[in-house]
């Protein structure tokens, strides 16, 4: 099935997402753009529709080439969110959520890096999996989250929620950022 065949049915669901910008608010708990819970699956579908696109540093061309932040920027633009260009800038948006797969929702951003520096970003698509543009594999891939205690897990720095879930911010447990 072609990417267009996967994405076109999703476009009808886009009316469920309210146009908004995901610019970093002064108060991180400020209202996030609302996304109907059923439309979260659309975020996963749009992300997965990019699987196989070639990796290229600095690229953000849908269906052709992406780097990690370009992929995130493109997918979120489909849902009327305007994101900054770099992974480090994207990692400051929305609200921090726990690094716990039972608390993550499709569409949450996952951030990775060394020390306090964020160097990579991906999109959680559910069931412990995320989509990202891999410089190592030279393509957009879907992979499982790193298992706790593994070498890869130390690079997973956090998760950010860009869409309102309808739950009160106080109902989320404290997140590591």
Catalytic residues: 68, 120, 132
The predicted structure's pLDDT at residue 164: 80
Token digits of residue 102 = 């039972």
The predicted structure's pLDDT at residue 166: 64
- Cα distances from 84 to residues 21, 44, 105, in angstroms, run 10, 20, 21
Q: Which domains can be identified in the chain, with CATH numbers?
A: 34-164 (3.90.1720.10)
Token digits of residue 132 = 């990202």
Return the residue matching tokens 């997140």.
Answer: 175
The predicted structure's pLDDT at residue 70: 94
The predicted structure's pLDDT at residue 167: 57
Render each residue's pLDDT in the chain as its tens digit; 177 residues. 455 444 434 444 443 444 444 444 444 434 466 666 667 789 999 999 999 999 988 877 666 688 999 999 999 999 888 999 999 999 999 999 998 889 999 999 999 999 999 999 999 999 999 999 999 999 999 999 999 889 889 999 999 999 886 654 444 444 444
Q: Say how many C-beta atoms besides its own lie within 10 A of residue 112's C-beta.
A: 21
């Amino acid at each position: 099935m072609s990417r267009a065949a996967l994405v076109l049915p999703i476009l009808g669901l886009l009316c469920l997402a309210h146009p908004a910008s995901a610019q970093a608010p002064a108060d991180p708990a400020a209202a996030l753009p609302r996304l109907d819970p059923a439309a979260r699956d659309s975020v996963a579908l749009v992300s997965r529709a990019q699987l196989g696109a070639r990796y290229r540093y600095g690229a953000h061309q849908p269906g052709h080439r992406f780097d990690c932040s370009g992929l995130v920027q493109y997918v979120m633009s489909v849902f009327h969110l305007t994101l900054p260009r770099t992974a480090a800038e994207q990692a400051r948006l929305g609200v921090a959520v726990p690094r716990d797969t039972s608390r993550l929702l499709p569409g949450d951003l996952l951030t990775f890096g060394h020390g306090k520096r964020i160097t990579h970003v991906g999109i959680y698509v559910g069931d412990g999996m995320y989509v990202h543009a891999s410089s190592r594999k030279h393509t957009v891939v879907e992979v499982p989250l790193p298992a706790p205690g593994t070498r890869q897990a130390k690079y997973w720095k956090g998760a950010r929620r860009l869409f309102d879930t309808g739950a009160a911010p106080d109902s989320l447990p404290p997140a590591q950022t």
